[in-house]
Structure 1
Amino acid sequence: MLRVNGEAVDAGLIEEAFTRIKAEAEILSEISCCERDEEFRQRAEEEVIDGILLAQEAEKRVPEPPADEVRSAFEATLRQWREHGASWDLLDAERESLRAETISQLRMEAFTEGLWRDLPEAGEPELRRWHAENAARFRQPPAAKVLHLVRFPESVDPWEDYSAMLDLRRQALAGEDFAELAKAHTQKRGGDIELGWIEHERVFNPFEVMLFSLEEGEVGPVFHYEQALHLVKAVEVRPAVVQPFEEVRDVVREEVERGRKVGVLRELAAKLRATAQIER
């Protein structure tokens, strides 16, 4: 059992933080990160400890809010739970814990507002520097307008299906109209051959890896993906671009300000840890 200054930590909080941290890492890498579970769990535990230390400090520094403010916030909490399907019986059973959580949240809001009140406004040089250092955040992926021919292997000898697709590709490379070939030979339901504009969002997806290796107007190799043989042509290609600072200035400002606020909380949590009793 983990305790912070004598307060028992709900294991569910750590599990929720672990799930979120791992999911974020897997979205960025597009691969499962099971081998990093121990690292993610440690980060989750440290994050929860910091949150509890800050909540305890808020309780010390900020008096309980006025009754009318608590009542208004508590009623809003109940409405939110109801909107998410909670029954009145459940809300009645959890009434005291929800009210305590509401008071704690109001205290934390007042506490953080006080900590952030004197933060200086971010200047233009800092904003531009952050934009340059985080250019990947504002990268618009490359895109391609695609024609598509798909066939589903059905012969006893798979080579027959593959060689048939190779022959269609040779015809396209020899100058045959790819759109006409696709219309005549695709097995896609409805005969649709146009995929429209596709953005390269899944970096390691086999289909997109192949597609975005093509030059504009190029017909790709025959490849197998999701139980089918595919042949595509990149009719048009748009390269990746980074949104200029002027277009995302407001977003950058929000991110810089959020980073400053998080920095203040982390710095305070680190100081609180120096005198905290953390029992594992």
Structure 2
Amino acid sequence: MLQSIRDKSKGWLAYIIVGFISIPFLFWGIQQYLGVGGELVAAKVNDTEISLRDFQRSLQQQQQQMRSMLGGKVPAEMLQGSAIQQSVVSNMIREELLRQYSAGKGLRISDNQLLSEIKGQESFQEEGVFNKQKYERLLEQQRLTKSGFEYQVRTSMQLNQFQDALVSSVFIPSSSQKDFLGLKGQKRKIDYVIFDKEQFRSSASPGAEEIEKYYQENQQNYVTKEQVKISYIVLDEAELASQVSVDDNALQTFYEQEKDLYRVPEARKVSHILIKASQEDGADELAVAESRAKEIHTKIMAGADFFETAKETSEDKLSAEQGGDLGFISPGDMDPAFEKALFSLSVDSISEPVKTPQGYHILKLIEVRPAKVKSFDEAKPEVEQEFRQREAEQVLIEKSELLVTLSYENSDSLAPVSDALGIEVKTSGWISRDQGEGIAADQRVRQAAFLPEVLQQKRNSDVIETDDGKQIVLRLAEHQPSKPKPLAEVKDLIVQQLVDNFMRDKVKALGEAKLELLRQGTDLKSIAAQIGADLKSPGFVAREDERVPAEIRDRIFTLSGLKKGESVPAGVVMSDGNYALVSLTEVKIPEINLDDKNSQNLVNSIKGSYQQREFEAVYQALESRSDIKIYNENLQQ
């Protein structure tokens, strides 16, 4: 529901409404949901309290976002420990401090600005127009009050104003620009050799005792997936539509009331000749195309057969084969200039050349099919479909409200919801965090099934809305915790790991020994010959040079102390377990021209780090002079 607002927000504060962002110091959840009313407090910022409810909702959102980003494979301690709690509450404090600062600086969002922002969100619109009922229904599904939601949108807009003011004040000194461009464009000349770990495979032979020891020490890596079965209710608009009872009298009445829906506009059958001309063409090319179209038009008006001429000259090859036939065209089907010319013609008449983005068209009107309203019998299938849809939408609104209210008020059971809505409670098969069938194929359903309030507190979930319009509430039916797999089941995997560890250790030891020889003056080419490996000499390497493995590129740009006529050696442990010896022999510094367009593009790319630094300075100053208290005992609730 809030995605479109998230998409419209800007920069560092883009995720102020919901979710998680890549810059670590900004994560905020929804505040002011359902009001405070004497609740426990998570933190206090000057005179403003952050309720425990707001904190718990923000915590759940970050947990859900982490699961989504990591495919559900997140260790439980990452999601439940004090570290994530402190991260969430700290960032909520940041938001509140920034809000107070923005307000103190006179940054204000008027009611009209707020209203315009909310009305502009596609999530709250029907056919491009703000729909108040949809707005209220979506907020209710998320258990948000209008005042709370509008407060948060206003805060987001206010902080965007603060961001804009801060960004405009950032200045990057020319010396810093030159330093950055010099480092960015620097190239380094290297030679390297890779030691292959596979040379040690035949020497690896893990024994039973080693296998058992590794298994006992690493059981957490060899466990079954935590699984659940869920009970759930699905409110499906399509199913509601199929259950709507209809009769001819009701359909006839609906048809008479909504005749405009079944109006068929005038359609005109047309053939054309196209001489292509793109908007990217120059004036000379456009003039040639126009001249060619006028020449063909003159030829036709002098008596040439239109259809044969279309076959011979039209550059729309598909229609040319049919004498230029485009079939029937209704208003809105084609370019406005094309339609204006077409709908001004009489049958068998021919237009002057008409310019559109595709080129120049010569049109011949073949037939006119007048506008009409379909009869009831002609429109009956459409009438029934639309009637069912309208009725289902009304029922859906009523049942959606009941679904939200009853599932929340009776959070320990789905039975009251089932009884009130007349919808069967179903039970899923086993679901893991990253895999499920049926409704559990939807990631949002799986995420909800493993939320603490569902899994641990045994409560009903919030309403989950799927892409196809279904509304789902679920609760835990069965839980199968993760447990270690038997050694016999994972023995082969452990052997593979032990062999790989052995090879990695051996090749690293060999590489480090040869690195010492390199430091003592032994030639890298000689070392390569000793181990039967190829010496690689790529020459000068840039930071993004894909000829060289990324680990080696990263390492060589950290090396320093190169003297003329000498080299700087280094060892690199590769991600695949191999080992590389590298010799840096030369550094090439680029010439810097700050007026160059590419240079300016690169400079602009570092503005974000300066803006972040400026932000941190402002925030630290705010924090140092503010009265902040975190109620850690309440965070454990």
Higher RCO (Cα < 8 Å, 6 or more apart): 1
Q: 1:222 aligns with which of 323, 330, 353?
A: 353
Assess if the C-alpha contact under 8 Å between 2:272 and 2:326 holds in 1. Answer: no
Measured on the aligned residues, the alpha-carbon RMSD in Å equals 4.6
Q: C-alpha displacement at 1:233, in angstroms?
A: 0.8
Question: Does the C-alpha gap of structure 1 residues 271 and 138 become closer, same or farther in structure 2, counting only changes over 3 Å?
Answer: same
TM-score, normalised by the number of residues in structure 1: 0.53
The secondary structure found in structure 1 opposite 2:232 is: helix
Aligned residue for 1:249? 380
Q: What SS does structure 1 have at the residue aligned with 2:366?
A: strand
Match among 177, 181, 191 for residue 305 of structure 2? 177
Once the 2 structures are TM-superposed, how far is the Cα of residue 230 of structure 1 from its aligned partner? Answer: 1.3
Distance 1:200 1:51, change over 3 A: farther
Show CA shifts across 1:37-89 (max 9, x none).
Answer: 72533346544345568xxxxxxxxxxxxxxxxxxxxxxxxxxxxxxxxxxxx
Unaligned runs of 5+ in 2: 1-29, 36-52, 65-116, 126-133, 144-223, 410-637
- Secondary structure of 1:103's counterpart equals strand
Q: Could you say if the C-alpha distance between residues 273 and 245 of structure 1 is closer, same or farther in structure 2, counting changes exceeding 3 Å?
A: same
Deviation of the 1:157 alpha carbon? 6.1
Q: Does the residue aligned with 1:127 lie in a helix, a strand or coil?
A: helix
State the 1:189 CA deviation: 3.8
CA positional deviation for 1:103: 1.7
Measured after TM superposition, the shift of residue 178 of structure 1 is: 1.6
Partner residue of 2:124 out of 24, 42, 48: 42
**How far apart are residue 261 of structure 1 and its match?**
3.1
Q: Specify which structure has the higher proportion of helix.
A: 1
2:262 paired with 1:138: yes
- Tell me the secondary structure at the aligned position of residue 150 of structure 1: strand
Task: Point out the structure with max Rg over C-alpha.
Answer: 2
On the 8 A contact 1:50/1:269 being kept in 2, the answer is no
* Aligned residue number for residue 232 of structure 2: 103
Helix, strand or coil for the counterpart of 1:156? helix
- Is the Cα–Cα contact under 8 Å of residues 335 and 356 in structure 2 kept in the other structure? no
SS in 2 for 1:145: strand
Q: Distance in 2 between matches of 1:36 and 1:175?
A: 61
Q: Which residue of 2 aligns with 1:156?
A: 284
Match of 1:215, SS state, is coil
- In the aligned structure 2, how far is the partner of 1:46 from the partner of 1:94? 37
Structure 1 residue 93 displacement after superposition: 7.1
Write the deviation string for residues 144-194 of structure 1: whole angstroms up to 9, x where unpaired: 333221123588364343234234324434544222333343234475333
C-alpha distance in 1 between matches for 2:403 and 2:305: 70
Structure 2 Cα separation of the partners of residues 36 and 148 of structure 1? 46
**1:40 counterpart letter in structure 2:** E
C-alpha distance 274-194 of structure 1, shift in aligned 2 (>3 A): same
More displaced, 2-11 or 139-148? 2-11
The one of 249, 271, 277 equivalent to 1:147 is 271
Amino acid at match of 2:258: N
Q: Secondary structure at the match of 1:159?
A: helix
Alignment pair present for 1:231 and 2:362 = yes
Structure 1 residues 80-131: Cα deviation after superposition (integer angstroms, max 9, x where no partner): xxxxxxxxxxxx97964xx54x7222xx46xx97xx98x8x55545422322
- Paired with 1:232 and 1:151, the residues of 2 have a C-alpha distance of 12
Gapped regions of structure 1 (runs ≥ 5): 13-34, 54-91
Measured in 1, the distance between the counterparts of 2:316 and 2:384 equals: 47
Report how many aligned residue pairs link the two structures. 206
Contact (CA 8 Å) 1:166, 1:222: kept in 2 or not? Answer: yes
Q: Which amino acid aligns with 1:104?
A: I
Give the whole-Å Cα distance in 2 for the aligned partners of 1:195 and 1:168: 17
Q: Distance in 2 between matches of 1:151 and 1:240?
A: 31
